[in-house]
Structures are given as C-alpha cells and as structure tokens.
Structure 1
Amino acid sequence: MTYMGSSGLAATLHAAAVLMRLDKGWDWFVTLSAEDYPLVTQDDLIHVFSSVPRDLNFIDHTSDLGWKESERVQPIIVDAGIYLSKRSNFFRASEKRKTPESFKFFTGSPWVILSRSFIEYCTLGWDNLPRTLLLYFTNVILSQEGYFHSVLCNSPKFQNTTVNSDLRYMQWDNPPQMEPQFLNETHFKNLRESGMPFARKFGKYDAVLDMIDEKILGRKCRRATPGAWCSARRSWWVDPCSQWKNANAVKPGPQAEKLGILIRRLLDDWKLSSKSCR
C-alpha cells in the first residue's frame, strides 16, 4: 500500500467487506495499526460498548480545512499501488482541481470506529454518494483522512450519527506534525487516566508497553490478555486462558469505569450540542 495514496483506503474497504461476509454478529469496525495498543481489556470494551447505540460512528472530523484545502483537497495524485501490486509510490499531477461544490469536504483522523450499518452503506453503496466520493478520493492525498468523514457528513441518513472523537490517546507536537509523538514511560499516567480505549503511537519493544501489560491489562509475557472466558487454574506456570468455558462471559475491570465516563461524556455532548458535521 501507499501511505499517502488511496490504496490504504481500498484495503480498508476490502477488509470491511470480507468481515461482513464472514460474520453477521459484529457491531463496529475498528481501524488499528501496528503502532496502536489497547488501554482496556476486551471485557472492558465489550461491557462499555454494550450500552452504546449501535448506529453511532466515532470519527474525529471537521469541515474547517484551513491549509489542507490547497495542500490536500486540490492536488491530484495517482496511487501506483492501486494498479500495481509491487509499487508503493504515487505521482502528483502538475495541475490542481477546484474544491468540490457537489459535496462538502470533511477531514480528520484516519483512525475510526464505524458502525456496521454505515460500513454496509459504504461497501454495498445502495445510492450514488459512497461510489461518487470514492471515485473522487481515489486521487486525494491521504484519502483515509477524508473519505469516511465526507460520506458520513454528506449523507442525510448518517450525518447525525457522528461522535466527534477517534477514541485514541495521542501526544502532538506544537505545532502538530503529520504524525503524533512516540509514547513512552513519561506518558503512562496520563494515558492510563485518559479513559481512551486505544493509544498511539508506540515504538517497537518500548518499555511503556510492558507497563501497560502489567498495570492495566494484567497480561503476562507472550500470553493473551485475560478475560472472564479464561477458566484454567491461575498460577505462575499455567496460562489462565489456555482453557475457557463461556466465550460470551464478560467481567469488566477498573479501566472500564474510566472508559464508561468518557463515553457518557461524549454521548452527552453529542445529544446536546449537535457539533456533528460542522
């Protein structure tokens, strides 16, 4: 894939379509990368989201384009990764195009949590909006920072389902660069108290990952994060998740309370202020 091009967006949509064929039971599609790490257990996440309306989409977005209008919206690029499997570069056209008038351009974080109903809308495309915007965003720089945002906020059916947060803990430089800072041990207290379910970005083998495993997730080295489904006898030499009983059992931990507070605040803001799609 080409990071700056649309081949990443194509892969994301393809993955979503595959997941819909494989399983009819999931509610949200969560995009993650190898630089993301969970700050809650699966039990915590399932427990909190079980009380969230299933049609909501957690997506950081804005129509205030600023410098992005001339640097991201108007340039035309061709992503070689769309056409050639062994190419990962892109080509920039010499001319620019005008900011579209047939739809309003929204941008934001590429890391999203999208409802199943909205993913079905994007992949099945029962009206022309997802298809039309996909054609446009095929030639947009960093299309994953605008495609889902623009489809959501230009769709009468879905524009009121957007919660303006990507639910990621990140640290940014001042002024912000293209990517957030790498998190380390000095950030541990803040990320633990943030209530966010995920954080990014982390370096490979960073010591803060061991701190998250030990003090937040209760995860031992090279083992799964334990949950209520783990039924083996707990000891130093036995993995409690080497055996299991009820796969649907959920036992939330301390981080679930922090996540629950965050979600309730975001939902209160969503209900009262109508900040979505502005």
Structure 2
Amino acid sequence: MCIDFCLKYEAPFAAYGEFTGHCNCWRIFNNASVSNIFAINHTCSDWFADNDNRSIAETVTLYRTSFVPVGTGFKPETPPNQISLVFFFLVSGRKSLRQNERYLYRELSKLCDRYSNIVMAKIRYRTTWGSTTRLLAELDVYKQLIEDLKWNFSFVISMSESDFPIKPIEELSEFLSMFPNKNFIVGDIGNTTEMLESSETRSIFVFCDNYLYRLGHKKFIQNIVYEFGSDWTILSRDFINYVTYGDDELIRGLRLTFNFSALPSESFYHTAVINSVYCDKYIRHNLRMVNWDRKRGCTCFNRDVGDLCGCSPVIYRRSDKKLFAGSTDKPIFFARKFDPTIDENIIDWIDEKVFGIDLSDSALYLQNFYHVEDSLTKLNDISGALKSIELYTRTMLVKHPKFHPVRSIELQQIHAVFELGVFQGYTFQYTIDDRNDFEIFVTQNAHTNIFSDSIKQLDIGFTIDTRDTVFIDRSRTFLDPVLVTVLFEWKYKTNEDISLVMKDPSGIVVTRMLVEIPEDIPIVDVMFPEITTECMIGIWSMDLVSNRFNNTLASLDFLIVSVNEMETNNDDNNLSIDVNIVDKFWPIAGICSVRKDTNVCSKRGSKMKTIPYEINDCDQNRWSAFYYDVKTNW
C-alpha cells in the first residue's frame, strides 16, 4: 500500500516505518546514501531526505516505487518532412454548441459544405465545463477520423474556440515532423499532490440534465501513476488508436474510471501515456502559452453547471503584447485565451504581425443573438431589455418615410456589434412586406466619465464575468430592474471613503450608499427602487463619489424602460414604445438594404436600383453581417 501510495504521488521512493506504520514519499535523496541503501536493500535509520530538510529517527524500509520521470526535454528524432495535421476544435462553455443552439452548428455546416477538409462531428455532446461527456466526445471524434473519414494524419491538435495561432502553420508542421509518434501533453509533477488530495479527484461525478453531480467517494486504480495537466493536447495517430481501441486492462480501466470523473481530459491522456508502452513517447509540453491569473481565474464561477470549482485562464488584452516577446525562439505555436468581444486589438495585432494580413478595412466583430431559423424559444430567451430595443428599432423602421405604409415586417437576425472589443450597439435585420430585407444599426449613446487617476473602470449591468471583469450583457439597458451590479476597478489600492449615488432622469438622488472597497472582485449589488411613475423611465446616472472631498471620481449613465411602457394587445406586431425615451440612448446610426443573393462571403457589387439612394447596400457597411470581411478570405 505504501509503494502504491507513493507511486500515485510520482515519488520514486517509498519509506515505510515497520513499527509506526507511517508511509513517507520522497523524490530526491542524498546521492551517496541512496546508492548505499539500494545496493543492499535493507532497513536503515537516521537518513536524510534533502528535499524535505528533516531527519527521520526511526527504522524504515526504503522501496523503489518504479516511478521514473519522463517527458522532459525536446530532442528531434528525424529531419523536417511533410506531414498532415488535424485540428480538432471543441466549442464549449458560453459559446456552447448544444442541441438547442442551432445557429453556430448551422453556420459551421455551411463551411463543411464548401470545404472538403472541414467536417463536423457526427454526434454532438453537451460539453459543459468539467463534464464527464468531454472525454466521450473526443473518443467519438477519433473513431470518426479513423473509421469514417479515413484521413491520413500524423497528429491531432485539440483546440478551443478561444485558442489562436501565433506562428504560421508551416512552422508548426515542420516542428512536429521532427517528433514522429510523440505526444505533447502538459503534465505537472509538482501539481500531483494537490490534485490527488482534492475532493474533485476523489469523487464520482455523473453528468445528467446538463449538470455535473457529485455522487460519492472514488477509489483510485492500484499500481499506476496519476498525472494531471492541460486538457488541450497534441496526440500522435498511434496513441489515438491506443486510447480509442486499446483493449488491455490499463486502458479499459481508465476509460471506465474517467467516464465518472470531473474534468476527465485533464488527466485521462496524461495517466494513459505515462503508464503505458507510450511512456517514452511523452513530451510535457502542448506548444502553447496560457494567460494564467490564479487569483482571478481560480474561483467557483461555474456552480450553475456543476458541483465543483476550478481554474480558467483569463483573456489576453492589448496590454499583454509584451508577453509574446519571449515566444519567438521557443516551441510555442498557440496561445489562449482570446475573445474579440473583450479585446480584438490583440488578435488583429497577431494577424498583422505574424501573418501579414492588412486589416485596415476589416469588418466589425458581430455576435449573433437571434436568427429566424432558430426556434421561438431562442427569441423568448433574449433579455427583456433587448426586446425593448428591438421594438424601438422596428417602430422607427416602420415610421421611416421610405417604407410607409408597411403591411408586414418580420425579424430575421439580431447581432451585437463590437469594435476592437468595445461594444458599439446592435443590428437588426428585417424583411418588409415579404420582399426586401433591411438591416438597421443602433448605437449605444452611453457615457462613462473617469475624473480620478485612481479609477480604472466603472460599469453597470446584471451578470458579470468575474475572471475578465466584464458584463455579459453590456447594453446598460434594464427592464424593470430589481437588482443591478456595479463594477468599479481601481488602478491601485486606496483607502478612499466612497459612496455610490444614483439619480433618476430628472436628476433627483434616489439612492446613496456607502461602499467598501473589496479585496478581490470590485463589484457591488445595488437594490433598485420600484418603477412607479413615468418620470422614472429614461436615462439614469450613477456617480462614484469621494465622501472625504465630496467630489465625483467617476460617473456613467444607463437606460431604464418598463413593461408598462410597452403597450401590447397580445400580438408582438402591435407592441408600441415611446421612441423618444429610447432614441436618446439608442440613436439610429444607419440603415442598409440586403440583396437576396448576398452572404458573408459575397463580393461587392452594384446597388439595387429599387432601393432609395440614401440607403446603401449592406455589403458596403462594416457593421453589417453582409459586409465582405477580409478575415473570411482564406
């Protein structure tokens, strides 16, 4: 038992006290003592473990556990040559490709129809963060690669939607060709002790109804080494064959055990490679750099999807450019995580610097919120505030003199618009009178003023991403709010005595609350007063005030709308809203026409002669979903 215990902790030596029953594990000993001890394999006393800095004053028996560190160092085995690579993208988390999230699946399917080397997995899984189905999804994809597609490949590189290449693919291919049959897997020996003792590793998990349930205690497999690390790997074809089809006792046991484990891909491949005949094909590196901030990234941010906590990298921003300076001469080909809704500047910088792409005329970044081909449930799922904005744009379009009178109008798409990670507004695409499609762009006319050098940012919203300190919904528009969240981030620590002051549209102070500056996440929940009069509908303000000097450190404004204001006759087409209230916060920035043969990959052409001249074609507007984007020109 002592030998197996120390083996799991990746310790080469196990020391068992015959009289006390104590088991001690060590990785490093005094070289002279070790050679003498193991030469005769007997009990000894008063020996020194130089990695523990203490003596053991008892008689123990010292055993080898059979653990040998492997996977360190890069040593090319062959000259560069031509190989084939498979990039396996697993889309999960808040951009989940679930059964009821049809939009992304539909758009990716269009790519598969156009390119023979892009294929969707036959079976879709709910790969929610930490779920046991993650490993099942990966093994199914490997079967599809080998059995159905019969692709001739050397490596499979698993990637998430937030990974990004930082070197040309030719360099990656040349590098991997020099390491045939190697497996690039990040395994952290120093992290094994912490992981083995965690409740997540010692528990049985079952994924059911889109939630990861913790059921009870789990026993470890005897006489093997457990390893833990990143779930993003580069695996050789031979090893993929082994983990997918292998039938020995080890791999059968691992496949069964990890089907009931949280975060299975963070240990399954690592444990399989180090305990199998592939242990000499193991390189402890996955050729990517990760933006870790343990203080912000290691939280229980996913309690809504599972009974566990965990860590996740934070998003790279333009201020992180210096971090890439040291990767030029290192075997690093990818980085994570990136998110264009948070900072697209860093992505464009890599595109221009590494790949020489001119992005001066590229499209703005759009994120789809609704498509007419989605189920009605999807439309019902959008926020009440966004529905009120859509109602406003619909009303303005119907009242436009060029379209009046309008017999019918149908919503086709909604996109959020971002420019270099800064939220700009929304676009709404409509079909009018069953003939012509038009897209309307409304921009957010919100103001944030920072008056103090100590304030980094001030914002307001509902759901916040605490890792990257941004709100998921950045519209600053609220429909009959009960509770709002205020984010205020400081550039440096301060003992400032501050208050939040909230004023209604007429400038009357409605709420003033003293706030303490938190140590970790700088957010405060504010109870919102009940909307009782029409005077409370409109643009509100929030000030961050210094109580000591009675001066404003920062301020912002936001829009309040009410259900009572949205008159209805049980028919969405008969909804109405006071456009004068919304127009100040969401002014219309442009209207364009959509030609029926237009798509995101279309080239620019002549205007439709039937459309009024002051309304341009959508493929001439960077904010439109129909603008030709240089980034799609592969």
Same fold flag (TM > 0.5) = yes
- Report the equivalent of 1:67: 194
Q: Is contact 1:113-1:166 (8 Å) kept?
A: yes
- Report the equivalent of 2:231: 110
Give how far 1:140 is off. Answer: 1.0
CA–CA separation in structure 2 for the residues paired with 1:65 and 1:49: 28
- Report the equivalent of 2:583: none
1:204 and 2:332 matched: no
Give how far 1:5 is off. Answer: 1.7
1:39 and 2:172 matched: no
Alignment of 1:122-271 (within 5 A): 122-155=243-276, 157-174=277-294, 177=298, 178-194=311-327, 195=330, 196-205=332-341, 206-220=344-358
Q: Is contact 1:169-1:198 (8 Å) kept?
A: yes
- Report the equivalent of 1:76: 204
Tell me the secondary structure at the aligned position of residue 134 of structure 2.
helix
Amino acid at match of 1:171: N
Give how far 1:208 is off. Answer: 0.5
Q: Which structure is higher in strand share?
A: 2
Give how far 1:79 is off. Answer: 1.3
CA–CA separation in structure 2 for the residues paired with 1:219 and 1:20: 35
1:16 and 2:142 matched: yes
CA–CA separation in structure 2 for the residues paired with 1:18 and 1:27: 15
Give how far 1:174 is off. Answer: 4.5
Tell me the secondary structure at the aligned position of residue 53 of structure 1.
coil
Q: Which structure is higher in helix share?
A: 1
Amino acid at match of 1:197: F
CA–CA separation in structure 1 for the residues paired with 2:251 and 2:211: 25
Q: Is contact 2:315-2:339 (8 Å) kept?
A: yes
Give how far 1:191 is off. Answer: 1.9
Mean alpha-carbon deviation: is it higher for 122-131 or for 31-40?
A: 122-131
Matched residue count: 219
- Give the alignment partner of residue 92 of structure 1, picking from 195, 214, 218: 214
Tell me the secondary structure at the aligned position of residue 219 of structure 2.
coil
Q: Is contact 1:167-1:197 (8 Å) kept?
A: yes
Give how far 1:100 is off. Answer: 3.0
Q: Is contact 2:167-2:354 (8 Å) kept?
A: yes
1:29 and 2:149 matched: no
Amino acid at match of 2:272: V
CA–CA separation in structure 1 for the residues paired with 2:353 and 2:283: 29
Q: Deviations over 1:234-253 (max 9, x none)?
A: xxx9x8x989xxxxxxxxxx
Amino acid at match of 1:46: S
Amino acid at match of 1:48: F
Give how far 1:192 is off. Answer: 4.8
Identity between Structure 1 and Structure 2 (%)? 27
Amino acid at match of 1:208: I
Which of these two proteins has the greater Rg computed from alpha carbons? 2
Tell me the secondary structure at the aligned position of residue 107 of structure 1.
coil
Give RMSD over aligned pairs: 2.5
CA–CA separation in structure 2 for the residues paired with 1:23 and 1:135: 26
Give how far 1:67 is off. Answer: 2.9
- Report the equivalent of 1:256: none
Q: Is contact 2:132-2:205 (8 Å) kept?
A: no
Give how far 1:11 is off. Answer: 0.8
Q: Is contact 1:73-1:99 (8 Å) kept?
A: no
Q: Deviations over 1:131-190 (max 9, x none)?
A: 2101001111111100001111110x1011111112111122245720112111122232
Amino acid at match of 2:256: L
Q: Is contact 2:132-2:259 (8 Å) kept?
A: yes
Give how far 1:72 is off. Answer: 2.6
Q: Deviations over 1:88-144 (max 9, x none)?
A: 211111x31233324221111111101110001111114232221010011111111
CA–CA separation in structure 1 for the residues paired with 2:349 and 2:262: 36
CA–CA separation in structure 1 for the residues paired with 2:179 and 2:338: 31
CA–CA separation in structure 2 for the residues paired with 1:154 and 1:62: 15
Q: Is contact 1:58-1:165 (8 Å) kept?
A: yes
> Is there any run of 5+ residues in structure 1 with no aligned partner, and where?
81-86, 224-236, 244-278
Q: Is contact 1:191-1:199 (8 Å) kept?
A: no
- Report the equivalent of 1:255: none
> Is there any run of 5+ residues in structure 2 with no aligned partner, and where?
1-125, 299-310, 364-627
CA–CA separation in structure 2 for the residues paired with 1:8 and 1:98: 21
Give how far 1:53 is off. Answer: 2.4
Cα distance change of structure 1 residues 183 and 189 upon mapping to structure 2, 3 Å threshold: same
TM-score, normalization: structure 2?
0.33
Q: Is contact 1:57-1:163 (8 Å) kept?
A: yes
Tell me the secondary structure at the aligned position of residue 209 of structure 1.
helix
Q: Is contact 1:65-1:107 (8 Å) kept?
A: yes
Cα distance change of structure 1 residues 174 and 91 upon mapping to structure 2, 3 Å threshold: closer
Mean alpha-carbon deviation: is it higher for 5-14 or for 171-180?
A: 171-180
CA–CA separation in structure 1 for the residues paired with 2:239 and 2:135: 15
Q: Is contact 1:170-1:201 (8 Å) kept?
A: yes
Amino acid at match of 1:139: F
Alignment of 1:51-66 (within 5 A): 52-63=178-189, 64-66=191-193
Amino acid at match of 1:72: E
CA–CA separation in structure 1 for the residues paired with 2:233 and 2:168: 19
CA–CA separation in structure 1 for the residues paired with 2:174 and 2:219: 46
- Bigger relative CO (Cα 8 Å, ≥ 6 apart): 1
CA–CA separation in structure 1 for the residues paired with 2:633 and 2:213: 50
TM-score, normalization: structure 1?
0.72
Tell me the secondary structure at the aligned position of residue 159 of structure 2.
coil
Tell me the secondary structure at the aligned position of residue 139 of structure 1.
coil
